[in-house]
Structure 1
Amino acid sequence: MSGQHQAPLINSKIAPLSPESFELETGGPRLAGRLYPPGGRETSAYPTVVICHGIPSGLVTPGDPGYPALAEQISRLGFFAAHFNFRGCGDSSGNFDILGWTEDLSVVIDQIWKLPEVDRTRLVLLGFSAGAAVSIYVAARDRRVAALAACGCPAGFGALAEAKNLEASLKYFRDTGIIRDKDFPSDLERWRGGFKQVSPLKDIAKIAPRPLLLVHGSKDDVVDPADAHQLFAEACEPKRLAIIGGAGHRLRLDGRAMAEVTAWLCAFAGNGLPCGPEIEKSGHRG
């Protein structure tokens, strides 16, 4: 997008091990993802980052390496990283359902929690856009989550929840391929109600006393930057807000935004590793 900085996302310090694919049978949709263990460090358990993607736009950006590349890069900093597709997306089965996404994330946390490589005191969620909203919803109800970073997070899904926009929303999600079955949703009111129930503004204060990072682009044309300020005002300490000057919605592709995220991750984990360049002065820290 215009204004996005394509600087290297992360300084590589550790050669990661080969990623391991996984599939989870949830009793509902099958979830597909990958685990990215760090290499080169001798420790029994690692600080762990679970990456949560947003609602796919259906657009392809040339040269975009995707979320798996971000997970690999985070693992180079000494983290055990995980990335998965929510239902309706990528190699996971099912149809897009925002409440279903909260269930998916809980299932993934359940499985990650069992792994010996995971430091249970340092499990972090890193969410983007709708994935950030889902992360806040889950973290507010699950104390296993030790910290949360939310990038481009909406304060709520008001427009999607309105009955007048329902048909247009369903058409968009079908056109982008995340609603795959023609008879979905079978319970339209429950599906629509999920957009009201998953409300970051209502849940953000429940993250404390766990650390919270909010990152937003000043030129985000999908989620108004005002949403970040609303969330920050409602959140409790410890909290941090970074507004990235000139950045749009796709913060994963902005080197300054990811430098902010990784510096925060490393400070939380206390792993002592350098985490990329300092954020440029055009970024505002709150």
Structure 2
Amino acid sequence: MIKKDITLNVDGIAINGQLFIPGQIHPYPTVCLCHGIPAGDRPEPNDGGYPLLAENICRQGLNVFIFNFRGTGISGGNIDLLGWTKDLAAVIDHLYLLPEVDKSHIAVLGFSGGAAVSICVAARDNRINYLAACACPAEFYRLTEADDAASWIDHFRKIGAIRDDNFPRSTEEWLDGFRFVSPVEYVSQIAPRPLLLIHAKDDETVSISHAHRLYERAREPKQLVVLDAAGHKLRRDQRVLTEFIRWLVSHLQGHKALVFNRL
């Protein structure tokens, strides 16, 4: 397995990521992982995070790209959901130029807020060939009420997702970004590309009703997997990886790069 650090410049903001390559340099199907909106929780000591998930997917004979959206991790900037759509679009632009990437087989696997952004970007970008959205909100109505904006901004400032004192310059414009990223308005545009929705029946943050709304609005080919006793943080659930790999491999049957190790 080869790992390459990559930094992109988006709106003058450094977006940092890492590409995992399964072996010799030649075009592989590629998965782009999109993390969710940070809650600010202290990481668990044994949680390998997205790098561990990337390694597990890479062992199946797939490239994997992970990155931090603006305002998170080691990337620059401040959290801004409309800006996140620009970050993902720039990532797809970059992946499309790499000789290691099979341009006809690019998948995006998003979680929570990253899943929402993925649906909105994929609706407008046919270079994304497969889309899996886990614990995805249908829209961000909880975040878009002007009365609650100050408390959300304060929360993001406390956890380091808003770093600049003068951000946002306009609270209303910042909220508009969350209003724009409304997956239920875009999910019907994913077809005819395959869509996988994974949600927990007991999701305490994004109700299972969001998944049903998205599934109803989406067009074939589509699949909804509902998990018992999984909660909101699906990245940590081994069943998600198993379901995702099984689904993706079913659409990649016969690709010479695939290994499909038993999970």
Shorter chain as denominator, the TM-score bin is over 0.9
2:12 to 28, 47, 55: 28
Separation of aligned partners in 2, 1:61 and 1:232: 32
Matched letter for residue 52 of structure 1: C
1:152-191 paired onto structure 2 within 5 Å: 152-191=135-174
1:53 to 35, 40, 56: 35
Matched letter for residue 21 of structure 1: D
Separation of aligned partners in 1, 2:53 and 2:19: 12
Matched letter for residue 101 of structure 1: W
Structure 1 residue 176, shift from structure 2 partner? 1.4
1:150 to 127, 133, 138: 133
Structure 1 residue 69, shift from structure 2 partner? 1.1
Matched letter for residue 249 of structure 1: H
What is the aligned partner in structure 2 of residue 283 from structure 1?
none
Give the RMSD, CA atoms, in angstroms: 1.3
Asked if 1:39 is matched to 2:23, the reply is yes
Structure 1 residue 259, shift from structure 2 partner? 0.8
1:171-250 paired onto structure 2 within 5 Å: 171-250=154-233
Contact 2:34 2:66 in 1 (8 A): yes
Matched letter for residue 138 of structure 1: V
1:231-284, CA deviations, whole angstroms, 9 ceiling, x for partnerless residues?
01110000000001111111111111221111112222224643545xxxxxxx
- SS of 2:142 mapped into structure 1: helix
1:35-63, CA deviations, whole angstroms, 9 ceiling, x for partnerless residues?
000126xx831111000000111112231
Separation of aligned partners in 1, 2:110 and 2:178: 17
What TM-score, normalized by structure 2, do the two folds share?
0.95
1:274 to 243, 260, 263: 260
Q: 1:220 to 1:34 in 2, by over 3 A?
A: same
Matched positions, count:
259
1:61-84, CA deviations, whole angstroms, 9 ceiling, x for partnerless residues?
231101011111111101111000
- SS of 2:105 mapped into structure 1: strand
- SS of 2:164 mapped into structure 1: coil
Q: 1:71 to 1:82 in 2, by over 3 A?
A: same
What is the aligned partner in structure 2 of residue 284 from structure 1?
none
- SS of 1:192 mapped into structure 2: helix
What is the aligned partner in structure 2 of residue 3 from structure 1?
none
What is the aligned partner in structure 1 of residue 64 from structure 2?
81
1:202-255, CA deviations, whole angstroms, 9 ceiling, x for partnerless residues?
000000000000001111101101111110111000000000111111111111
Separation of aligned partners in 2, 1:228 and 1:25: 33
Q: Percent identity?
A: 47
What TM-score, normalized by structure 1, do the two folds share?
0.88
Q: 1:243 to 1:275 in 2, by over 3 A?
A: farther
1:114-134, CA deviations, whole angstroms, 9 ceiling, x for partnerless residues?
001111111111000000000
Larger deviation: 251-260 or 90-99?
A: 251-260
Structure 1 residue 181, shift from structure 2 partner? 0.8
Contact 1:127 1:151 in 2 (8 A): yes
- SS of 1:160 mapped into structure 2: coil
Consecutive unaligned residues in structure 1, runs of 5 or more: 1-15, 278-286
Matched letter for residue 117 of structure 1: E
1:189-209, CA deviations, whole angstroms, 9 ceiling, x for partnerless residues?
211111111100000000000
Structure 1 residue 163, shift from structure 2 partner? 0.6
What is the aligned partner in structure 2 of residue 9 from structure 1?
none
What is the aligned partner in structure 1 of residue 92 from structure 2?
109
Matched letter for residue 144 of structure 2: A
Larger deviation: 262-271 or 232-241?
A: 262-271
- SS of 1:219 mapped into structure 2: coil
Separation of aligned partners in 2, 1:156 and 1:31: 25
